[in-house]
Amino acid sequence: MTETENRILQLLLELEQAVNSMANANPKPNLLPIFARLDELASQLPPDSDPDLIHYLRRKSYQKAQLLLQGVKAS
């Protein structure tokens, strides 16, 4: 896994945690900075990166991207 992919995975895990905490959080977490950072990191991926990862990130399929980076088969 490249450094950029690792940073994307860490950010996806942070996003998952923030989303899971929303039901009880007051104030609600601001997810916009996470989305912006994910877009920024996705744009830094080299062209020879996994095409599925690039596709998932472009389509905002963050759960699928996370599973792919964790080595879990996404359905």
Q: Which of 60, 62, 56 is nearest to 15 (CA)?
A: 62
Mean pLDDT value across residues 19-44:
94
Mean pLDDT value across residues 8-31:
94
Are 48 and 22 in contact by the 8 Å Cβ rule? The answer is no
Produce one character per residue of 54-64: b if its CB has 16 or more CB atoms within 10 Å, e if not: eebbeeeebeb
Mean pLDDT value across residues 9-29:
94
User: What's the alpha-carbon Rg for the chain, to the nearest Å?
Assistant: 13
Structural domain boundaries of the chain? 3-69
The predicted model scores a pTM of 0.90
* pLDDT band for position 69 (cuts 50, 70, 90): very high
Over residues 54-66, the pLDDT tens digits come to: 999 999 999 999 9
